[in-house]
Amino acid sequence: MFEHDYIATQPVFYLFIAFSALLTYGFFWGKRVNHRLFLSAFNDLVDVIKPVDQTFTNIGGLIGYHASFITKKKGAITKVDATITFLPRQSWLYFPVSKLIRRWDRLFITLYLRQAPPEEGHLIEVKYAAFRGPKITNADRLNREKVQWGKQDFYLYYQGMKMRDALVRFIGKNGDPGIVRHIAIVPDQQRCFVFMIPRKGEVGRYFAPVYEWVPSLIPKAGDA
């Protein structure tokens, strides 16, 4: 009895209680922040895509979410998949480490196309490409040049001048990449991939121009 009373009066005991309370607060704070980001990002996607059907799936508890959106039957884009993964804000012990290793929350969007575009093309931010960025499978078969999009440097990969011109026009029409870090047009897979760093209230703003532009890459009936 006296031993327990002695422990309860020690400064270390109170520090332990305070530290535990802080971690508990951090857990609920981080969970709330990530959930709000998920709702903001996926509500933005719904507003842009206007799907006829949609499903949402939780990934591993607090890690992230996946969504599938079915679009209108006659559109150039048949389906959109989106996966958002978060920094572990709910774990204040691991969060700083994850911030150094992963750096950002991540939003991966896949657009399934009714027809394959005639050429492959990529816009990928230089810093993202250097920091654990994706490997472009056919990079050795594509032309590459560096372009400035807004205040950021991007690599422009293109198979032919038609795709280059389409990408350059897209940049010219949309002067700021915002949270977009990679746009990939991949005919072999009949898909377009978009990688974004999701921020509250910004996903729809920067995804909408991509979603509206991609159908223009699909040849219409009668095109040469």
pLDDT of 39 higher than 70:
yes
For 52-69, what is each residue's pLDDT tens digit?
999 999 887 678 889 999
Identify the CA nearest to 169 among candidates 149, 142, 140: 149
Confidence of residue 27 (pLDDT cuts 50, 70, 90): low
Q: Which residues pair with 81 in a beta bridge?
A: 68, 110
> What number is the average pLDDT over the span 17-35?
60
> What number is the average pLDDT over the span 1-10?
51
pLDDT of 25 higher than 50:
no
Give the span between the Cα atoms of 171 and 177, in whole angstroms: 8
The reported pTM is: 0.83
Confidence of residue 224 (pLDDT cuts 50, 70, 90): very low
> What number is the average pLDDT over the span 6-18?
57
> What number is the average pLDDT over the span 167-191?
96
Chain-wide mean pLDDT for the chain?
83
Q: Which of 86-95, 137-146, 201-210 has the highest mean pLDDT?
A: 201-210
For 137-157, what is each residue's pLDDT tens digit?
888 899 999 999 999 999 999
E-assigned strand segments in 150-190: 152-158, 180-186
112 close to 79: Cβ distance less than 8 angstroms? yes
Q: How far is CA 3 from the centre of its chain?
A: 54
pLDDT of residue 73: 76
